[in-house]
Amino acid sequence: MMRRRDDKRLVNRGLLFGPDGRQITSYDKIHMFDANVGDGKTYQESASFTAGNAPVIAMIDDMPVGLSICYDLRFPHLYRQLARDGAKLLMVPAAFTAVSGRAHWHVLLRARAIETGCFIIAPAQFGTHADGRQTYGHSLIVNPWGEIIVEADDGDAVIAAMLDIDEVDRARRAIPSLQTNPVIGTTRLIK
């Protein structure tokens, strides 16, 4: 959803609504999609939008939910921070291009689930848009072990799954990588 911040600059903003229909919070996309994925188009999101500057976790009932948008998916440090700060479910709404989606969508979502021990819900746009841009679709729900629970086919779809939140704790106990400091030290360059 495109919105203007208080300073009148455009942002790519996701809104989170609770079960009662009330808006809980919003998240402004941090990483701008400036790329050339080989589909004949050059993408320069930063030409029209300004980046957000803060990760967001919101509570839905007793569930801490980390928010992100599309290209954020390529930045694992964001998801690690959300998980270390308590998120157990990560939302990743996206409009991946058809080219990058076929190549990277599944593997990146599964990797973020494995790295964080979180469930991931990733609704995704599918089809050809007014400007000719093609998006991949394939909305997914992924469990903390990186297994795809449910996936939408091409076209319009609604997907749903029952989530056992205890799977988060089991995955994090099995592989406790979130308990370690992500910075090891200064990399030595050997020439």
Segment 148-165 shows an average pLDDT of 95
Q: Is the pLDDT of residue 6 over 90?
A: no
Condensed to tens digits (0 to 9), the pLDDT of residues 98-130 reads: 999 999 999 999 999 999 999 999 999 999 988
Assigned domain for 189 exists: no
- Closest by CA to 24, choosing from 33, 15, 11, is 15
Assigned domain for 23 exists: yes
Query: How much is the pLDDT for 3?
Result: 56
Model-level pTM?
0.90
Query: How much is the pLDDT for 188?
Result: 77
Q: What is the CATH number of the domain that holds 103?
A: 3.60.110.10
Condensed to tens digits (0 to 9), the pLDDT of residues 140-155 reads: 999 999 999 999 998 8
Assigned domain for 45 exists: yes
Q: How many domains does the chain have?
A: 1
Assigned domain for 54 exists: yes
Residues 6+ apart with CB under 8 A from 7: none
H helices of 76-153, in order, are: 76-84, 98-100, 106-116
H helices of the chain, in order, are: 76-84, 98-100, 106-116, 166-174
Assigned domain for 188 exists: no
Query: How much is the pLDDT for 172?
Result: 97
pLDDT band at residue 65 under the 50/70/90 scheme: very high
Q: In terms of residue numbers, what domain contains 71?
A: 2-178
Assigned domain for 183 exists: no
Sign of the CA dihedral with 43 first, then 65, 78, and 144 last: negative
Question: Considering the chain, what is the average pLDDT of its residues?
Answer: 92
Assigned domain for 190 exists: no
Sign of the CA dihedral with 87 first, then 91, 96, and 100 last: positive
Q: Is the pLDDT of residue 81 over 90?
A: yes
